[in-house]
Structure 1
Amino acid sequence: MPELPEVEVSRMGVSEHLTGKTITDIVVRTPKLRWDIPQQQLQSLIGQTILRISRRAKYLVIETAIGHIIIHLGMSGSLRVIAASTALKKHDHVDVCIGDKVLRLNDPRRFGAVLFSEPDTEHSVFAKLGPEPLTDAFNSEHLMVMCNKRKAAIKQVIMDNPVVVGVGNIYANESLFLTGIHPQTPANQVPVEKLMALVVVIKQVLAAAIKQGGTTLKDFSQTDGKPGYFAQSLYVYGRGGEKCLRCETVLEEVKLGQRASVFCPVCQPKQ
């Protein structure tokens, strides 16, 4: 699944090609992905200039003066800016056309979304989202309040969108390793100094992933077709049963909330 860095890389990639351009058509080949696609509302944007491409959590927002297109890549979605004459591939569901080029959404699992929102109106998908991790709103005070009365595992808490958006499985694994926190530690038992360090590390890990172009996943590539490179720097994610890169202890793996959690029992001891 594309995580926040991969979505941010997609945003940067498409912004270069779309910002300031006029929408000449919107082609919907599949009426429903995760939700019904609001085709009539999207058609109202034809002729509008794209003012900017923004991001909220893992949603991309194509902004115009009279409405916004909201795109979520789901489990397997990807975006390409290509010539309008490019032959269709299987699972090419939606095109946002800008003259002789199109922004094309491909989504094999159809768990993504294409939605519409009015200007200055918060769409319901954004209603319960927490702060962006790379902003000042996500800070140690906020995380301490969120963890204070929660007995759930700290890994599940930092992956909870109302707490902070965009800390997916890859980056939760990595951040907890780098701060020496066992993923199963109840959130309300993580020492304050560890929570403070965790906030800093989450920001550093996500920023590094964005800088390096997103993590290479089988379902993700950048808009120019090149994969990300952050996977070369992973300490624990996907490495269960291998040796810790720090102490050479064999990494262990458990399931938390249906997700694999890999950790080093020495570097991340249970409290």
Structure 2
Amino acid sequence: MSNIEAAELTGKYIILDVLARDGEGNCYNVEVQVRRYGAWHKRGLFYLTRTLGGQLSAGEDYEELRASVGLHLLDFDLFTETVAEREQAVWRFEMRDERQPKISLGNVLQMNLIELNKADRLGLPEGPLRAWITFFKHWQEELTMANVAHEPVKRAMSRIRELSADEETRRLAFVRERALRDEVSLLNDAKREGEMTGERRVLQRLLRKRFGELPAWVGEKLERADTKQLEAWTDEILTVDSFDELFKH
């Protein structure tokens, strides 16, 4: 692994990425996301497509193109709208037809998401995936990790112990191009969140005055809503007679 110069980094917005290629030439972009922000999925797709587009040199046959696979490990729950979403933690997105999803363009471009917190709570079947999720969530817990028998995870734990003693490895991060884009996204998200917080508080006060204390499910809907939806609910609050009627959509 090459060194990264200090001038190329902006420490506050470091995101850990691993770029790899297997023996068949397939490319893998592995990212660990510890903070949710609005454009994270667009960022992931942007770099995944760049990985795909950068495989071929001028004059090379398209048959030489190999899969570009994104693997995002999310340290937050992403899909929570329905019961089915809350009971699934591992997701795979490919190029498939909308009406006939069995018809696919192959896995040349593929995005995989693992919601680590949810997967840990749900308890996946015994196997390599469960072992790796345990590693990412509990690697600092010696008693928990002592029960993991999957050999690659055990080697990863051994390597982490070696690296933790090496102060230089704490400098590892990704280059400025990605860090600056992440900074812009985070700043814009903070600005939008500030605007939505004010609108959300006004709507909460109006709802309490009209219908009483807010049920938990209403609070969750308000937290997930964007500015446009908050404004729509505020406009309709005087024309409905209950929480259910207002939030029926």
Which of the pair is proportionally richer in strand? 1
In terms of fraction of residues, the more helix-rich structure is 2
Normalization by structure 2: what TM-score? 0.22
TM-score (norm 1): 0.21
